[in-house]
Chains A and B, each alone.
Chain A
Amino acid sequence: MELAFSPATKPQGEASAVARQRALLMAANADESVSAIQARGAEPRLSAAVGGAMIYDERRAAALVNVLVTLDAAFYEDYEELLCDESRAGFESFMKYHRWARMPLLGSESTGKIVGTWKSGDECLSIRFVERHRFHYAITTRGQDGLRRDWGHSNIVTFFDEHPSAKRLVRG
């Protein structure tokens, strides 16, 4: 079993404790018991917290890969081409940057651009991933006067600050 850090190079301090745990978990069996982790000198509470987050990230990354592979295969079958690289990168960036985002309903347009949609009741948000950091959005929300539609261009960094209702839809 190989660790990410040799004893001579292991980092120090609280950040180093997290990094040490991450290295242990990456090297360890994911089903390894807390007691076994503790036997190696790890803090069980810290390792459970770090382990839980890592497992979530790994599963989420695997789910993203899975959904994109499936969509790529379907797109290739329809058009004998692959999905738009920039759009694919945009969707991946969005989902990695916003780790709390639910997996959307995902489809591809004939251009290879990916469109993700999040729905809650009769409200919904659709995002067409145009480039790595830029996308088009269309959002339908329910207000006092009924359904309201809005749309525009935005980016993964500022979008939810500009559209708090979108955050509610994506979070679920």
Chain B
Amino acid sequence: MLPETDHIARTCNASSLGSSGEPTPASFEFRVRDGQWKDVYLSVNWLELLCPGEADLPAKVDVLRTVQRANEHGWPLIKPTAKKVYAVIPVRAIHSASLEEAATTLACRHEPHGDGDPHSGVHPNPGVDHWPATGDGAAQLAVQQYLWSAVCHYEPGMLKPPAGGNGVGKAAAPATP
């Protein structure tokens, strides 16, 4: 499991975001297709694998952004765009999920496609095979809400360059909820 001192970043689709570009519980959806769970775990990226040490979260997200844009190894991933958002959650918050009423705990595990791949997963325990295959159950909404409530930082997938600058971009207002 990922260290509890570390963080994961979830790439959120634009349609899952609120009107101000903030993540919502819809951003942490476990997907169902054709009556089966498509997502055994929630795909996320381990920030400190790429950027260990004491850098702040925007700096760590920037490293992830750079690696994903380049994707030199051709790993399957969601490319960051200006309309998508990285939502950061502390691993400690995920591991301490108090969802006893749902008899569900959550664990972050590294799920790399190759050496150096930060891809990881938020695994429910018991797994999705214990969830109703109709998919959109209320208990799963509670899990999504919990993950959303644990977001500690979010920012756009792609950054706008400053006006009149040299093209090296920094975001307008990365947000810490």
Contact = CB atoms under 8 A, between A and B. Distances in A.
Interface residues of A, number: 34
A109 B16 CA distance: 6
Nearest to A115: B26
B133 to A, nearest CB: 14
A115 B15 CA distance: 11
B15 A71 contact: yes
Contact of B136 (A128, A137, A140): A128
Interface string A147-172: 11111110000000000000000000
A146 B98 CA distance: 11
A108 B141 contact: no
B24 A75 contact: no
Interface residues of B, number: 33
A160 B4 CA distance: 38
B19 interface: yes
B52 to A, nearest CB: 31
B27 interface: yes
A117 B148 contact: yes
A62 B139 CA distance: 33
B99 interface: yes
B149 interface: yes
B48 interface: no
A107 B145 contact: no
Contacts of A107: 15-18, 23-27
A153 B142 CA distance: 12
A122 interface: yes
B17, B145, B146: most-surrounded residue (chain A CB, <10 A): B145
Nearest to A110: B31
Contacts of B145: 117, 124, 126, 138, 140, 149
B65 to A, nearest CB: 19
Given A77-B83, A126-B25, A150-B101, A70 B142 contact: no
B55 interface: no
A110 B29 contact: yes
A122 B149 contact: yes
A149 B136 contact: no
Contacts of B76: none
B136 A109 contact: yes
A88 B11 CA distance: 25
B14, B26, B137: most-surrounded residue (chain A CB, <10 A): B26
Interface string A96-138: 0000000001111111010101000010101010100000111
A110 to B, nearest CB: 5
Contacts of A110: 13, 29, 31
B18 A151 contact: no
Given A106-B24, A107-B26, A153 B149 contact: no
5 contacts: A77-B15, A109-B26, A117-B24, A137-B138, A151-B142
5 nearest CB pairs, A to B: A107-B24, A107-B26, A138-B142, A75-B15, A136-B138
